Amino acid sequence: MDIRDARRGDVPAIVSLLADDELGRQREDPNDPLPEAYWDAYAAIEADPHNRLVVVEEAGEVVGTLQLTFIPHLAFRGGWRAQVEAVRTASGRRGEGVGRRLLEWAIDEARAQGCHLIQLTTNAARDDAHRFYESLGFEASHAGMKRYLEGDVLGRRRADEVDDDAPDA
């Protein structure tokens, strides 16, 4: 298993990994040809020195991926933190250590870049993922919040469009 920076030719395999679970099927479009937005996002990530998109490759096949972003900030007396996004392992390879190897790589990279912490978010419905991240020393120390904005690809309404007179769900 080799961890390497993703190349443009890996984008379809990465999108397929992102779509390869219950939540991913609702928000990703792995159809050929891929929507142009994926290619634009890849180009932006590749051009940004604070972003790393990596894949795990084994026998010429992409079996895992994650994105690691280095973020400067003033909190905690200034410094850098690392943000992990879009961790995925091929469904047929889960439980074989691919994800653990990816996260250990990310932790090592964060240390090498001088980050004082590494953070991630995971969907509240992903109980197995929570246990996995906890086994690597991550703690559920904060409550995360998100707000979907205009142009949300899933067509969700913006928070400011919610009808205040609508009954609570």
- Looking at residue 81, what is its pLDDT? 97
pLDDT at 155 over 90: no
Domain annotation covers residue 20 = yes
| Phi, psi (rounded to 5 degrees) for 64 | -165, 160
Q: How many whole angstroms separate alpha carbon 36 and alpha carbon 39?
A: 5
Range of the domain at 72: 2-161
- Looking at residue 156, what is its pLDDT? 52
Q: How confident is the model at residue 158 (pLDDT cuts 50, 70, 90)?
A: very low
- Looking at residue 168, what is its pLDDT? 47
Q: At what angle do helices 36-47 and 11-18 cross, to 10 degrees?
A: 110
Give the count of domains, the chain.
1
- What value does the mean pLDDT take over residues 162-166? 47
Q: How many whole angstroms separate alpha carbon 165 and alpha carbon 169?
A: 12
| Nearest CA among 119, 54, 65 for reference residue 87 | 65
Domain annotation covers residue 86 = yes
Q: How many whole angstroms separate alpha carbon 40 and alpha carbon 30?
A: 15
| Nearest CA among 20, 62, 74, 66 for reference residue 45 | 66
Domain annotation covers residue 58 = yes
pLDDT at 150 over 80: no
Domain annotation covers residue 168 = no
Q: How confident is the model at residue 151 (pLDDT cuts 50, 70, 90)?
A: low
> Could you read off the pLDDT of 86-123 as tens digits, one per residue?
999 999 999 899 999 999 999 999 999 999 999 999 98
Place of tokens 């609570």: 168
Q: How many whole angstroms separate alpha carbon 113 and alpha carbon 84?
A: 14
> Could you read off the pLDDT of 124-149 as tens digits, one per residue?
888 899 999 999 999 999 988 888 88
> Could you read off the pLDDT of 14-73 as tens digits, one per residue?
999 999 988 889 899 999 999 999 999 999 999 999 999 999 999 999 999 999 999 999
Domain annotation covers residue 71 = yes
Q: What is the CATH number of the domain that holds 135?
A: 3.40.630.30
Domain annotation covers residue 79 = yes
Domain annotation covers residue 166 = no
Q: How many whole angstroms separate alpha carbon 42 and alpha carbon 48?
A: 10
Domain annotation covers residue 169 = no
CA dihedral 6→12→13→18, nearest 10 degrees, is 100
